[in-house]
Chain A
């Protein structure tokens, strides 16, 4: 890459030719306030005008997030003219913004308020008409409030990049412009898969998860037997809510906090992840032996299930009939656990802590309720758990490490822990499939081919004399490639893992926000590395665990012996398996 000589505030620097002024300034040690620019140009609209600077050779002020540097350019950031222009840009954004900040979900995490402080924006500088507001609270997962939208386009870009067939776009023009699904419809009647990737990039309170904290308060007040379970990816990120470095595993502190919050039992969804592997591996081997529909595709990710039902309803026969792990856990709690403890299932309230907004939608599916009893009653995101712990005044960082409850559903394997990262479900399944087909444990335990963050990972293995090709995709854009091959009849795979979010659950739409401006103790390139760091937290817990394979979970074995019979038995099918149905992209 050719270098060019530039000056910033009169000092000479050399930077790569063609990069934006914003990037160049960052490399030279200057942070220009910016809002719409996000993640190395994933979103670069130049629309918010917050990053205006003076640059020689340009007419007037330029938006530094889109204007490239060139040889000899002199850049001025802190002149009165540029500073005043940036302040005006923010004041204009604030003038069309509902300022009920105290009740905003992004209170304390709002990038608009952050740049308002940086630029010294004053209040009520431009009073007048406001764009008509839409507040969509219909979806069980996501709330969209256009009164908080600054039209930065980050969600539009992320939805397009993750989903591949973006659901959100800019509509209308001029003052009437909004970001919305086609026709400004509710998300729930649009082809939105509820993955929450839009929420995870929104700089303001325009897109947020729908909180279910009140449901838990009500259940506890009503004297219910409230049981909580936590997904693997939560422990890899919850510490971030309390200022801990990204990638710090906080399993023990998380359990300690949940016990102090008054839950009757604190279980790990990992127990059911092991159970999922037993059911899914049996289902797969059954399909292989009996000429069933192949490739079989995993079913743990509710975002992916929503996508399949909307866009690939002809391929639903390929999707494993296994419920997702937290739904299995809920079903077992309200049957096996209830019987063993002599509690009426109607009096049990199951709370799932998930890295995911789509799980909120999933728990409402009619297929996941029996006789009016839901498998899972409430789903909180990792962020909401952070809020709950803070509300209770618990000093998270000072907590001791405590253990999950160990009775009946307490044991879990390292294979279950890695469910939270792309490739993890596949690796867990391979550890067990290897044992079943080869009659012994896989010596290396790890299957490196399915690790890492390539969009599509594939491998061919010989197991029990059979050649098996497998593939792993994360983010719907990548999954689409594999799905189109299946539809065209040219897929060579036996088993495919699909997760809705890029990187898998560790980067789910319910995980703590990763905003460099609020993370002064992280490296400047944290947006490039946070997924690896969270994944490493899970892989390290797997390695610390003495139990590494799902089939060696003795409590799962006991559950089959005492209650379910064997994997895929009639009773297992009744409790642990589900059905899918195609749906229209736009529902009337």
Chain B
């Protein structure tokens, strides 16, 4: 098992300490780690286990139960296409297929350049603007297939500009 660098380990412990003592600290700890690093690999779960006394097996179970948590790094932009009923009847499948085609990744995968992760979401509660696409928390409304290359080009340009 690879070992984390000291600084990273200290950060994980600091995140654990923020929530230890609460009634159910695990979800909050994992949520903060997910936000900080973008994923929660087994090495990190071992650290959380050592700090909190919760078994690695249980932590792993929680990480794999909630789709918000990830075991592998996500891309800079996480493209979440809603496939809930309203979005679906408004053509969301064609929208996610277009993202998939251009980025050359399947839902759940991350592009080789590390820029994009494609996620298929169930209803995100934005039925009035279906089909909806949520990218890093920003929601795009009534996305049509022809909008997809425009969105991708814009994000690529944003990344290049940084």
**Chain B residue at smallest Cβ distance from A584:** B1
Q: Which of A156-207 contact B (CB under 8 A)?
A: 159-160, 165-173, 181-183, 191
B1, B53, B57: the one within 8 Å of A169 (CB): B57
Q: Tell me if B58 and A166 are in contact (CB < 8 A).
A: yes
What separation, in Å, do the CA atoms of A25 and B89 have in the docked complex? 50
What separation, in Å, do the CA atoms of A168 and B60 have in the docked complex? 10
Known A182-B42, A182-B45, A183-B42; contact A585-B64, beta-carbon cutoff 8 A: no
Instruction: Return A379 CB to nearest CB of chain B, in Å.
Output: 26
Q: Tell me if A160 and B55 are in contact (CB < 8 A).
A: yes
Q: Tell me if A586 and B56 are in contact (CB < 8 A).
A: yes
Q: Tell me if B60 and A183 are in contact (CB < 8 A).
A: yes
Instruction: Return B3 CB to nearest CB of chain A, in Å.
Output: 10
Q: How many A residues touch the partner, as a band?
A: 20 to 34
Known A165-B55, A166-B55, A586-B1; contact A171-B46, beta-carbon cutoff 8 A: no
Q: Tell me if B57 and A168 are in contact (CB < 8 A).
A: yes
Residue A448 interfacial (CB < 8 Å)? no
Instruction: Return A156 CB to nearest CB of chain B, in Å.
Output: 8
Q: Tell me if B65 and A182 are in contact (CB < 8 A).
A: no
Residue A217 interfacial (CB < 8 Å)? no
Q: Tell me if B55 and A173 are in contact (CB < 8 A).
A: no
What separation, in Å, do the CA atoms of A585 and B1 have in the docked complex? 9
What separation, in Å, do the CA atoms of A181 and B55 have in the docked complex? 10
Residue A587 interfacial (CB < 8 Å)? yes
**Chain A residue at smallest Cβ distance from B54:** A165
Interface centre among B55, B59, B65 (most CB of A within 10 A): B55
Contacts of A172 in B (CB 8 A): 64-65
B57, B59, B64, B65: the one within 8 Å of A181 (CB): B57
Q: Tell me if A586 and B46 are in contact (CB < 8 A).
A: yes
What separation, in Å, do the CA atoms of A181 and B42 have in the docked complex? 12
Q: Which of A18-66 contact B (CB under 8 A)?
A: none
Contacts of B45 in A (CB 8 A): 182
Residue B128 interfacial (CB < 8 Å)? no
Q: Tell me if A169 and B42 are in contact (CB < 8 A).
A: no
Q: Is the interface of A mostly helix, strand, loop or mixed?
A: loop
Known A182-B45, A586-B42, A588-B1; contact A171-B55, beta-carbon cutoff 8 A: no
**Chain B residue at smallest Cβ distance from A165:** B55
Contacts of A171 in B (CB 8 A): 60-61, 64-65
Contacts of A587 in B (CB 8 A): 1
Known A172-B64, A173-B65, A586-B46; contact A182-B57, beta-carbon cutoff 8 A: yes
What separation, in Å, do the CA atoms of A483 and B99 have in the docked complex? 55
Q: Tell me if B56 and A182 are in contact (CB < 8 A).
A: yes
**Chain A residue at smallest Cβ distance from B45:** A182
Contacts of B57 in A (CB 8 A): 159, 166-169, 181-182
A165, A169, A191, A585: the one within 8 Å of B60 (CB): A169
What separation, in Å, do the CA atoms of A159 and B56 have in the docked complex? 13
**Chain B residue at smallest Cβ distance from A160:** B55
Q: Which of B28-69 contact A (CB under 8 A)?
A: 42, 45-46, 49, 53, 55-61, 64-65
Contacts of A586 in B (CB 8 A): 1, 42, 46, 56
Contacts of A169 in B (CB 8 A): 55, 57-58, 60-61
Interface centre among A169, A172, A182, A588 (most CB of B within 10 A): A182
What separation, in Å, do the CA atoms of A445 and B42 have in the docked complex? 51
Instruction: Return B121 CB to nearest CB of chain A, in Å.
Output: 15
Q: Which of A557-588 contact B (CB under 8 A)?
A: 584-588
Contacts of A181 in B (CB 8 A): 57
Contacts of A170 in B (CB 8 A): 61, 65
Interface centre among A159, A169, A170, A584 (most CB of B within 10 A): A169
Closest 10 CB pairs of A and B: A169-B57, A182-B60, A169-B61, A166-B55, A165-B55, A182-B56, A171-B64, A586-B1, A172-B64, A173-B65
**Could you list 8 further interchain pairs (A-B, Cβ under 8 angstroms) beyond the known A169-B57, A170-B65, A171-B60?**
A169-B60, A170-B61, A171-B61, A171-B65, A172-B65, A182-B57, A183-B42, A586-B42
